[in-house]
Amino acid sequence: MSTTPEQPGEGGIAVLASRIGADEKRLFDAFDRRGIPFDHLDTRGQWFSAEQRQPPRRIVLNREIGQFRAAYAARSLTEAGAEVVNSADAIEVCGDKWRTTMALQAAGIPTPRTALGLTPKATLAALDSIGYPALIKPLVGSWGRLVVRLPDRAGAEGVLEYVTALPGPQSHLGYVQELIDKPGRDIRAIVVGGELLGAVYRTGELWRTNVALGAQTLPCEATPEITKLSVAAAAAVGADIAGVDLIEDADGRLLVLEVNHRVEFTGFQSALGDQVDVADRIVEHLQERAQR
């Protein structure tokens, strides 16, 4: 493994990441078990020349945790001749909740009722149309951070008054969504190369069931419906490797909440154990692409 960030080596595979967490270590171990050489490109020292266009062609697995660094790195590497997984287009769609929703809707994939207000005042009108309780979410964000449950109009007015005072035009856009009466859990499915690896339930006492917030993971049967929706959702956003979040409504109907381009799979792996090796399957997929 090389840790020199400035120039990718000849051919082969590279992993782009500034943070080496449990998932990245699993991926590195999977490369080593298969005897596949790879480079680690640390984005903290990575830079690109506008004149560089044709470096040695290679596969780059984009595991950068920063949304903007991930997107700009993917586009720069692609312009320079590399094949990046996931693509810059997929990262930009998945990293923006509204663009994800529009892509899912265009593909005919069921989602919760969702709206985007271009001002706090317009957001309040959108919430009146959706009804309460509802959720307001940041356009860019993960791990359930800054997601606020709005019980009624008075609560929404208080939150939006705060939003109005925030700096930056993007902060004033309101991505709002109906609050689904789910059975205390949601579903995380992982898709690699158009194939479902499996699914798990994420359970929690709160309405948010993110593993980062303490949710527990349990095995979930990968039904034909889960498989169909998950594979279709990954394809809709153009993600080769994807974590798809689904939710069951009170009638048991499945809806797709979002698609993650940089899927975290430690909890998923713990729940499914020997049924699937996520890191190994990702490495296998990269190897297959590198050999095309």
Tens of pLDDT, residues 210-243? 555 557 899 999 999 999 999 999 999 999 999 9
CATH topology for the 13-94 domain: Rossmann fold (3.40.50)
CA 14 – CA 62 distance, rounded (Å): 9
* pLDDT for the residue 182: 85
Tokens describing residue 248:
């069951």
25, 31, 275 from 270: Cα distances, Å: 15, 20, 10
Tokens describing residue 200:
């798990």
**pLDDT tens digits for range 31-79:** 999 999 999 999 999 988 887 665 555 899 999 999 999 999 999 999 8
* CATH topology identical between 13-94 and 113-178: no
For the chain, the structural domain boundaries read: 13-94, 113-178, 185-290
Q: Minimum mean pLDDT among 15-24, 32-41, 159-168: which range?
A: 159-168
- Give all strands of the β-sheet with 216-220 in edge-to-edge order: 216-220, 195-203, 185-192, 241-248, 254-260
Q: Do the beta carbons of residue 16 and residue 75 sit within 8 Å? A: no
Mean pLDDT of the chain: 89
Instruction: Return the closest-CA partner of residue 269 out of 204, 199, 215.
Output: 199
**pLDDT tens digits for range 180-210:** 988 889 999 999 999 999 999 998 755 555 5
Q: Which CATH number fits domain 185-290: 3.40.50.720, 3.30.470.20, 3.40.50.300, 3.40.720.10?
A: 3.30.470.20
pTM: 0.89
Does 144 have pLDDT greater than 90?
Answer: no
Does 123 have pLDDT greater than 90?
Answer: yes
Question: Residue 9: which pLDDT band, with cuts at 50, 70 and 90?
Answer: very low
Does 125 have pLDDT greater than 90?
Answer: yes
113-178 classified as CATH 3.40.50.720: no
Percent of the chain at pLDDT above 90?
A: 74
Does 118 have pLDDT greater than 80?
Answer: yes
Question: Residue 5: which pLDDT band, with cuts at 50, 70 and 90?
Answer: very low
In the DSSP assignment, the letter for residue 172 is: G
Question: Residue 11: which pLDDT band, with cuts at 50, 70 and 90?
Answer: low
Tokens describing residue 132:
């309460």
* pLDDT for the residue 7: 46
